[in-house]
Amino acid sequence: MTRSVLVTGGNRGIGLAIARKFAAQGDRVAVAHRSGDGPDGLLSLSCDVTDSDSVTAAFARAAEAHGPLDVLVANAGTSEDGLLIGMKDASFQRVLDTNLTGAFRAARQAALGMTRRRQGRLVFISSVAAHRGYPGQANYAASKAGLVGMARALARELAPFGITANVVAPGLVDAGLTESLTPQQRRRITQDVPLGRLASADDVAAAVLWLSSPEAAYVTGVTVAVDGGLGIGH
Ligand code: NDP
């Protein structure tokens, strides 16, 4: 059975790996992103998750092209690190607006059709930072921890409609936001990871696909850590 899948922030990094993995198993995949051209072979939708109208329009185009949505992967994310005392309100709000409220806008839009059809999968991409907290990431950690609470609430609210809501919390992934790390930073981070390496985007995609699969039909409200053990105990 092929499904209609939408991945926010699916034009590059982890989102693109997720989108490609769904497409490789035959699903009809749309990727929503703000800038640039979309990746070859996937339906590309211009969408700013900080703008509700833009989210509504992108979901409508995805449904027109691919049919009613079966799976939403809320992956779009950003970071603006800075120590608390110097962090501007705008910087805190921008990160929350994209990472948390953006995922809320996408989930709300997805749930419209899913509740009617009484089926669907919501997967939110959080981060190990939600549980461990890192200096300079008050905004980012708050947004990613917020996703965990939101998914738990949605898991209960949407269960009667046959919809599951789960979270994937990657550790440091060798893609996207980490591309700017220096070799020393990478070494230091890797030393803390029990499995001794960064995650690949594919490691993360595999967890997302499992949570979206029929095998995970009885799994809802959980956070699956894909972090090589970095967050053990949290
Ligand atoms: P990238 O920076 O490579 O990609 C971010 C994606 O989000 C891009 O597609 C970008 O679109 C999109 N995006 C950002 N803001 C918006 C917006 N307002 N509206 C629509 N799309 C937007 O990041 P990664 O691949 O590294 O990260 C993907 C997710 O995984 C994020 O949520 C991140 O927090 C999380 N994560 C990443 C980790 C890592 O180590 N890389 C670790 C743990 C979690 P555009 O290209 O148009 O800007």
Evaluate whether residue 14 is within a structural domain: yes
CA distance 153 to 70: 20
Ligand 1 atom 28: residue of nearest CA: 14
Asked if residue 27 has its Cβ within 6 Å of ligand 1, the reply is no
The answer to whether 73 and 125 have CB atoms below 8 angstroms apart is: yes
109-137 as b/e: b if 16+ CB within 10 A? bbbebbbeeebbbbbbbbbbbbbbeeeeb
Evaluate whether residue 39 is within a structural domain: yes
Range(s) of the domain holding residue 186: 4-226
Ligand 1 nearest atom to the CA of residue 11, by list position: 9
Amino acid at 98: T
Evaluate whether residue 233 is within a structural domain: no
Q: Which of 9, 140, 158, 226 is catalytic?
A: 140
Residue 55 CA to its chain's centroid (Å) = 15
Tell me what the pLDDT averaged over the chain comes to: 96
* Predicted TM-score (pTM) of this structure: 0.97
Interval 141-199: pLDDT, tens? 999 999 999 999 999 999 999 999 999 999 999 886 677 788 888 888 899 999 999 99
In this structure, the dihedral spanned by the alpha carbons of residues 181, 30, 207 and 168, taken in order and rounded to 10 degrees, is: 60
The answer to whether 194 and 138 have CB atoms below 8 angstroms apart is: no
Evaluate whether residue 231 is within a structural domain: no
Interval 41-73: pLDDT, tens? 999 999 999 999 999 999 999 999 999 999 999
Domain count, the chain: 1
Query: In the block, which residue shows the tokens 């922030």?
Result: 9
Return the CATH number at 163. Answer: 3.40.50.720
| Measured CA distances, 7 to 70, 77, 118 (Å) | 11, 12, 20
Evaluate whether residue 234 is within a structural domain: no
pLDDT at 187: 86
Asked if residue 35 has its Cβ within 6 Å of ligand 1, the reply is yes
Q: Is 140 considered catalytic here?
A: yes
Evaluate whether residue 232 is within a structural domain: no
The answer to whether 212 and 121 have CB atoms below 8 angstroms apart is: yes
Residue 216: both structure tokens together: 């995970």
